[in-house]
Amino acid sequence: MDVNFELQPEKTALLIIDMQNSYCHKAGSIGRAGYDVEAMNATIPKVKQLLMACRSTGILDIWTIQNHYPDDLTRKTHRLTPHTHRWSAGPPALKGTWDAEVVDELKAFTDEPAEMVTKHRFSAFYDTRLDTLLRMKGIDTLLVCGVATTHCVETTIRDAYQRDYDVLVAKEAVGGLTKESHDASLKLVNETFGAVISVEQMLKLFNGQSQKLSMDIVTKNASASFSPDKRWRADQ
């Protein structure tokens, strides 16, 4: 399904998700836990490109900053170990640490007019001021970049869609822990929650050029149609 789309700058915001040392730097807690953070680190120059275009056109940029706490009583209510305590290097992005800081390459953009939103869960909408801020500014379209694709990025996109925002994702400006999960996440977004486009296309939108957005059509193969007798089961 193709849609011709052009931005309305006064109704658009660039949402930059969790571009912090914890996730993007090899010395951050995710890298120290043994994960390859190269794909997330590689988003930095792409995010910078989008930010520069954003500032030149007067489009609002909003940053989310993930903060965790070493002694989080809400996490202690879990009978299952929460994700923050499954990392061998300890909880990521602890408030007040280098781990939680924005990466050096982007710090210069975090002063005004940037809007900073602190969050404590995957979704940037959960118990934050983000939705109120967007509605106060008259925003109905979000351009999304940041990390990690399958965690905070996808969860935020889902919540944005459920709040009736149009969502465009710059595919080279989002990164995850594995290529397989990253690709699967973007495929799902393009099928259901928004449109996945290139950074080049997004830059053209910033410049006022209409772009043809190709969104996936959800279809089912007749041979794989749903049947009550063919439900997926955990033991199959």
Q: Vertex 52, ends 65 and 192: CA angle to 5°?
A: 60
Q: How many domains are there within the chain?
A: 1
- 83 lies in a domain? yes
- Is the predicted pLDDT of residue 150 greater than 50, yes or no? yes
**Taking the complete model, does pTM exceed 0.85, yes or no?**
yes
What DSSP letter does each residue of 3-68 carry, written as one string? EEE---GGGEEEEEE--BHHHHSTTSHHHHTT---HHHHTTHHHHHHHHHHHHHHT-EEEEEEE-B
State the average pLDDT over residues 16-28.
Answer: 98
Catalytic residue among 119, 145, 159, 171: 119
1 versus 217: the higher-pLDDT residue is 1
Mean pLDDT of 4-17: 97
CB of 206 within 8 A of CB of 59?
Answer: yes
Angstrom CA distances, 113 to 1, 64, 226, 232, stand at: 36, 14, 50, 50
Residue 24 is a catalytic residue? no
What's the pLDDT tens digit per position in 103-146? 999 999 999 999 999 999 999 999 999 999 999 999 999 999 99
Instruction: Quote the domain boundaries for residue 40.
Output: 2-218
Q: What share of the chain is helix, strand, coil (3-state, %, to 5)?
A: 40, 20, 40
Q: How far apart are CA 35 and CA 28, in angstroms?
A: 10
In a domain, 54, yes or no: yes
Is 216 among the catalytic positions?
no
Amino acid type, 209: Q
197 confidence band (pLDDT: 50, 70, 90): very high
* 104 a catalytic residue: no
Give the separation between CA 88 and CA 82, rounded to whole angstroms: 13
Is residue 213 in some structural domain?
yes
38 in a domain, yes or no?
yes
Asked whether residue 100 is domain-assigned, the answer is yes
Q: Which residue has the higher pLDDT, 235 or 133?
A: 133
Local structure of residue 166 (DSSP, 8 states): E
Options 46, 152, 159, 171, the catalytic residue: 152
Q: Greatest CA span in the chain, whole angstroms?
A: 58
Q: Name which of 18, 48, 23, 46 is nearest 116 in CA terms.
A: 18
Tokens of 76: 């202690």
Find how far residue 173's CA is from the centre of its chain.
9
pLDDT band, very low/low/confident/very high, at 217 (cuts 50, 70, 90): confident
Q: Strand pairing of 211-214 and 141-147?
A: unpaired
- Is residue 110 in some structural domain? yes
| Domain-located, residue 171 | yes
Query: What is the average per-residue pLDDT within 49-76?
Result: 88
Kindly report the average pLDDT of the chain as a whole number. 89
- CATH code at position 105: 3.40.50.850
pLDDT band at 230 (very low <50, low <70, confident <90, very high): very low
At residue 79, does pLDDT exceed 70? no
